[in-house]
Structure formats: C-alpha cells, structure tokens
Amino acid sequence: MKFGVQLYNFRNELKPDFRGALKKIAELGFDGVEFACNYGGITPDMLAVYLKELGIECAGTMFGVNDLLDPGNIAYEYAKQLNSPAITISAMCDFTKEWENIAEKCRKIGINAAGHGLIFSYHNHWAEFEKINGVPAMYRILDSTDPATVFVEPDVCWLTRAGINPSDFIEKYADRIRQIHLKDICVPDNPETTVELGQGIVDLQSVCVAASKTNCQWLIYEQDYTKDPFRSAKLSLEYLRMNVKP
C-alpha cells in the first residue's frame, strides 16, 4: 500500500498559490495526493504533467455529486488523465430519509465511471450510520448497489465517531475498497479535535492490519484541523512509515 495525503488538509495554503503549495506538499515525501474538488484551474493534461514533474502520483480525485451524474463532465477527464485509483463523492443529508436517493445516485455514477474505465467510490462521514430499522444507512446503500461499480472509501475517524468498528467495516466490504482515509481524533463528537496519526483514540494499528487483507492501494492521511498542516503531515507520515509494513 502507498501513502497519500488529502489536499483538504492544505485548503488554505492552496488557494493563493496552488502550484507552489503542491510542490511543497510533494516535498514532504508522500507517494501521492488526493484531490478535494480543487484542481487549481489547471487542465487535466497539464496537471498530470505537473504531478509527474513533482514525482508524485494521484491518490484519488473527489468531485461533487452533480458533477459525476453527468457522464460528460470534465471530472472524468481529470480522473483519467491523473490515473486516479478512484473517482469519489461524499454527501451530507438526512440519510434516514435520503439513503435510497443517495443509493440511486451512486448506481448512476458507478455506471458513468465504469463507462470511462474508472472506479467510483463513496466517502463516508458519520451521518451515513444513522439507523433505519436497526440497519445503518451506509450498509443499506452499499448492500443495495452493485459491488462491481460502487466502491467505498472508509474514513476510519468518522466510523469511530459513528460507533462502528473501522476494522470490522473494512473486513465486511474488503472487496470494495481501494483507498482508506486515516484520520485520528481526540474527542469523537468534536471534529475540531483531529490530531496527527497515532495521537488520538482511533485504533489505527488494527485498521492497517485489516487494510492489508484487502485490495486497498492507498492509505490516505487526512487531518481536518491543524495549526500547521505541513508539520502535522510530516509527523503523520513518520507514524505511517514506522507502523505500516510496505
């Protein structure tokens, strides 16, 4: 498995100087970066060239739901040009009421992505695990969609917040995982307490063992809140190198 970093960590640094910030991020030593809906206004082909110049890979591409519902959207060209392991969405809504609607959108996007030779993946937060008749909405979404076209990118921090054992979830959907978001936190119901990997309450050791038994290609570090994202990323990469077997 390769080590990636989610560019959302650097959202404030990327705004004024996308290329410069991306260069600095590449120098941290991660194998790749996962894009979070911001592509710096650079065309797909030129962004692919720039990543090659920096010596890093694309660990994933995230877009809005409506973008991917359109099979002709440029999002698919970005994913193809960047050789993205998956093209990903997330959603925020009342999943107890909207899970069937989200599942249908996932079906459509999965078909669109497959038509482009891509894998579509859904990124979870915590709201997806509200239960309908005792079953979490996320399980209903995944169990009612085609495993061949709808994958999942588990976020282990939000799984923990939702009261779901991340390792159990990864084992349950092992064949539908190509990327995993590694995020740590001190207080589960306070997103602003995300910390460097290994400094919080998430059982990352067990997660990495579970991930090693899947077809996961990328472990992607994400930290939503930090005073110095570069320092935090460096510390988290050191944790990965010390605790995860290649």
Return d(Cα 193, Cα 92) in angstroms, integer. Answer: 20
- State the Cα–Cα distance between residues 156 and 136, nearest whole angstrom: 16
SS3 223: coil
Please state which CATH number belongs to domain 2-243: 3.20.20.150
pTM: 0.96
**pLDDT tens track for 77-132:** 999 999 999 999 999 999 999 999 999 999 999 999 999 999 999 999 999 999 99
Q: Could you report the per-residue pLDDT of 14-51, keeping only the tens digit for each?
A: 999 999 999 999 999 999 999 999 999 999 999 999 99
Residue 33, H or E segment: strand 32-36
- Provide the b/e sequence for 22-47 (b: ≥16 CB within 10 Å): beebbebebbbbbbbbebbeeebeeb
